[in-house]
Amino acid sequence: MSQPAYKRILLKLSGEALMGDDAYGINRDVVAGIVRDVIDVTQIGVEVGVVIGGGNIFRGMAGAATGMDRATADYMGMLATVMNAMALADAFRAAGVNARVQSALRIDQVVEPYIRGKAIRYLEEGRVVVFGAGTGNPFFTTDTAAALRGAEIGADIVLKATKVDGIYTADPKKDPSATRFQRISFDEAIARNLAVMDATAFALCRDQRLPINVFSLFKAGALKRVVMGEDEGTLVYC
C-alpha cells in the first residue's frame, strides 16, 4: 500500500460542520461520520490533531449575545469549542480510538490544559488530540488557532474541512461557471483576494511555510484522499 503524503496533520473543523441539517447543536450521525474518516487515516499511520469551532452551540445563544462586549462573547465562544471538543473526543472513545482534549483555557476538572510537549507525545503514541478554546484569547478565530497549533505541533499541513470541495474562482453556488483550483500559491491567493482563512491565520501559515488544503468534509473518503496526496480539494502551497 502506498504511503500517505503527510505524516502529521492538523484538521480544522467548524462548529457548524457538526450540525448537519440541524439549526444548531450536535448531530450524532455527522459526528460519527467525521470519526470514521479520521479513523481511516489513523489506520495508515497518520497522526491527527483537531481544532474545532463553536458556532453550532453559540448559534443557539446568538440572541442573548446581541450587544454583548466582544471579549465576553469570544470567551463564551471558546467555552462552546470545549464542549464540542469533549463531544468529539467522546465519539472517538466510543469508536475505540484513544483521544485527548487539551484546552487553551484552564478547566482542569473537565479537560487538561494545552501543553505542547504532551500534545506531541500523545500524537506520537497514536492518540487523536482535540484542541479546544481556540488560542485562549479573544479577537482571534479558530482558524488562527488551527494555524498556531499546526505550527506548534509540527504538522505537515493544515486541512480546513468545509462544505465546499475546494477554493473556486467564484462562488460556485452563484456562478455555475466557477472552476476549482487544484493548487494555488499563497501569493496568488492573496493577489486574487480569495477567502481561504482569516487574514491572521493565512499569514501565519504562509510565514511558517505550512501548506493548507481546503476540502469538503461531506465527500466520502475525501480526508483520506487528501492525506494520500490525491487531487482532492485545493492545496495552498508556499
13 is in an annotated binding site: yes
**Is the Cβ–Cβ distance between 23 and 59 less than 8 Å?**
yes
**Contact (Cβ atoms closer than 8 angstroms) between residue 7 and residue 46:** yes
Angle among Cα 2, 4, 15 to the nearest 5 degrees reads: 140
21 has binding-site annotation: no
Does 74 count as an annotated binding residue?
yes
Residue 4 marked as a ligand binder: no
- Cell 473537565 maps to which residue? 110
* 173 carries a ligand binding annotation: no
Contact residues for 179 (Cβ-Cβ < 8 A; gap 6+): 168, 169
Q: According to the annotation, is 123 in a ligand binding site?
A: no
Q: Is 40 annotated as a binding residue?
A: no
Asked if residue 54 belongs to a known ligand binding site, the reply is yes
Give the start-end residues of each E strand in 36-195: 47-52, 99-103, 112-113, 128-132, 157-162, 183-185
Say whether 139 counts as a known binding-site residue.
Answer: yes
Orientation angle between helical segments 142-152 and 199-207, nearest 10 degrees: 20
156 annotated to a ligand binding site:
no
Q: Is 58 a known ligand-binding residue?
A: no
Q: Is 138 annotated as a binding residue?
A: yes
C-beta separation of 113 from 143 below 8 A: no
The annotation status of 200 as a binding-site residue, yes or no, is no
Is 216 annotated to bind ligand? no
For 128, how many CA atoms within 13 A lie in the half-sphere containing its CB?
29
37 marked as part of a ligand binding site? no
Annotated binding-site residues read: 12-15, 54-55, 59, 74, 135-142, 162, 168, 171
Annotated binding-site residues for ATP read: 12-15, 55, 59, 162, 168, 171
Annotated binding-site residues for UMP read: 54, 74, 135-142
